[in-house]
Amino acid sequence: MTIEQRAHPWMALSAPGALQQMLDEIGVKDVAAVFEQIPADHYRKTPLDLPPALNSEIELKRDLVSKLRKNGDCETNLSFLGAGVWQHHVPAIVDEIVGRTEFATNVWGSYQSDHGRNQAWFEFSSQLGALLNLDVVQLPVYSWGCAIGHAIRMAARLTGRRKVLLPVLADPERLSVIRTYCQPSEMEDHIEVVTIATDPTSGRLSIADLKSKLGPDVAAVYFENPAYLGTIETGAAEIAGLARAAGAETIVGVDPLSLGVMMAPGDYGADIVTGPVQPLGVHMNCGGGVGGFIASRDEARYVHEYNGFLVSIAPTAEPGQIGFGLASSHQNSYGSREHGKDWTGNSTYLWAIAGAVYMSLLGPDGFREIGDLILSRARYAARLIGEVPGVKIVWPDTTFKEFIVNFDDTGKTVDAVNEALRARGIFGGKDISTEGHGLGQAALYCVTEVHSAADIRRLADALKEVCQ
């Protein structure tokens, strides 16, 4: 390399002569000499072929912004997409805190040097625990689907059984992740995934089908509340009771933003609870905002099966002072390698800080208020859309923020409807007609606190035009 070239703003030793000073101290003649361990025939033969450097901030910013501006976004357009990533309001203070360099850092840190971050992590778990009515909440894993996968594997280890029952109306995205975690059938530790039928009148789990499939080989029953297609599982306590009677674990997936108005899963018999963290103050980020939590009662048998990081209060050397650190950590893969409980690594812990800030801003009244608001607006949207000729709402009165819109009687496909809506600056619901749920030409619509009544009327009016 040419040491005399222009210094790069991100490398102190790129200043003229700076590297040479170090080479002199080491006593080697040139840079090549420090790579003496690499055999000559290992060096790459193909030269690097990278685009020209944009090493001024002006050029770099222009490149990034000019590319990103080719996207359409959900601020400029009116979007009703959900299904695993949802458009919720992110308070400005959340962005300020998670953007602080001490948090958005490269370093992992320690109990003593990064006390504030550890406290913020503990506050995430504590506030989520208050919403869930559960005493143990792990720092979030990669996504909700990953959290469910780990929870199912926890249940298999706890029970020694290798079958999980879950609703047939599952999100194909999460289900695909779950299947990855359950291993192929050729493998010794494969966990069999068996689906439970739906009650066609309500969209809820068929209790009769659940009963017929529960047996001494079932490790866990998994269901979501609200479910993938927005429905509320009113039989949650009965499902948990049936699972317990069969010696199986009850795993529930919940939207944390619903918990100001919906019963806490800890109160209806859930053993392990999972859910997405993105609704708690994280931007959609084109799907990059996902994260998943896992929670349970504070019993050693559960705690000893967690795969990741549990932050506990701990006393310090100063009487009366508290600090924080990782509890029950030797079971994770850092300490136990292949004998650890699944595996862990860098995950989505910055979103724990976002979630802590977000939950502290809302408090109990905020969670009730946002829950009521979402529910009112979603049901209003379902009502207005249901008035569009040829359009039906499937299970309209049992949903939280998402609901199914069926277009069969309009003679139009969801794809065609969405194309026409997009021309009007509206992103229609997710097309679920190809997901094999037998719901016809149907889309999953999502309405949240960001959608005003006027937005909803604009959607309904557009649908009237489009479906004529």
Residues 423-442 that bind another protein (CB under 8 A): 427, 430
**Which of residues 236, 246, 426, 462 is near another protein by CB under 8 A?**
236
Sign of CA dihedral 169, 171, 174, 179: positive
Quote the least distance from Cβ 150 to another protein, whole Å.
9
Q: Which of residues 7-66 bind another protein (CB under 8 A)?
A: 8, 10-14, 18-19, 21-23, 25-26, 28, 31, 33-39, 41-46, 48-55, 57, 60-61, 63-65
Range in contact with another protein (rule: CB under 8 A) among 162-170, 243-251, 290-298, 386-394: 290-298
User: What is each CA distance from 180 to 165, 175, 222, in whole angstroms?
Assistant: 16, 9, 16
Residues 244-283: x where in contact with another protein by CB under 8 A, - otherwise, as a string = ---------------xxxxxx--x---------------x
**Which of residues 16, 211, 322, 389 is near another protein by CB under 8 A?**
322
- Judge contact between 163 and 191, C-beta under 8 A: yes
Residue 240 in contact with another protein, rule: CB under 8 A: no
**Which of residues 29, 186, 201, 436 is near another protein by CB under 8 A?**
186
Residue closer to another protein by CB (options 349, 407) is 349
Residue 160 in contact with another protein, rule: CB under 8 A: no
Q: Which of residues 216-235 bind another protein (CB under 8 A)?
A: 225, 232-235
Residue closer to another protein by CB (options 22, 216) is 22
Residue closer to another protein by CB (options 98, 405) is 98
Residue 361 in contact with another protein, rule: CB under 8 A: yes
Helix (H, G, I), strand (E, B) or coil at 79: strand
CA 271, CA 223: separation in Å to the nearest integer?
12
Residue closer to another protein by CB (options 212, 239) is 239
CA 32, CA 21: separation in Å to the nearest integer?
15
Residue 93 in contact with another protein, rule: CB under 8 A: yes
**Which of residues 4, 29, 107, 201 is near another protein by CB under 8 A?**
107
Residue closer to another protein by CB (options 98, 459) is 98
Residue 387 in contact with another protein, rule: CB under 8 A: no
Residue 67 in contact with another protein, rule: CB under 8 A: yes
| Residue 168, Cβ density class (10 Å: 0-12 exposed, 13-18 middle, ≥19 buried) | middle
**Which of residues 16, 29, 78, 85 is near another protein by CB under 8 A?**
85
Quote the least distance from Cβ 27 to another protein, whole Å.
8
How many residues would you count in the chain? Answer: 468
**Which of residues 151, 219, 243, 326 is near another protein by CB under 8 A?**
326
* CB contact set of 348 (below 8 Å; sequence gap of 6+): 140, 141, 142, 143, 277, 290, 291
# residues near another protein by CB under 8 A: 226
For 312, half-sphere exposure in the C-beta direction (CA atoms, 13 angstrom radius) is 11
Residue closer to another protein by CB (options 366, 390) is 366
Quote the least distance from Cβ 196 to another protein, whole Å.
19
CA 39, CA 110: separation in Å to the nearest integer?
38
Residue 293 in contact with another protein, rule: CB under 8 A: no
CA 208, CA 366: separation in Å to the nearest integer?
38
**Which of residues 223, 293, 309, 395 is near another protein by CB under 8 A?**
309
CA geometry: angle 464, 465, 466, nearest 5 deg = 95
Strands 220-224 and 249-253, how do they pair?
A: parallel
**Which of residues 29, 69, 201, 436 is near another protein by CB under 8 A?**
69
Helix (H, G, I), strand (E, B) or coil at 110: coil
* Of 204, 155, 208, 213, the residue nearest 182 (C-alpha): 155
Quote the least distance from Cβ 402 to another protein, whole Å.
13
Residues 111-140: x where in contact with another protein by CB under 8 A, - otherwise, as a string = xxxxxxx-xx-xx-xxxxxxx-xxxxxxx-
User: 430-439 contacts: CB < 8 A, separation 24 or more?
Assistant: 430/81, 430/82, 430/83, 432/229, 432/404, 435/172, 437/168, 437/169, 437/229, 439/394, 439/404, 439/406
* Of 286, 274, 308, 296, the residue nearest 144 (C-alpha): 274
- The DSSP secondary structure of 136-152, one letter per residue, reads EEPPPBS-HHHHHHHHH
Phi, psi of 387 (to 5 degrees): -85, -10
Q: Which of residues 198-217 bind another protein (CB under 8 A)?
A: none
Residue 353 in contact with another protein, rule: CB under 8 A: yes
* Of 357, 349, 356, the residue nearest 103 (C-alpha): 349
Residue 72 in contact with another protein, rule: CB under 8 A: yes
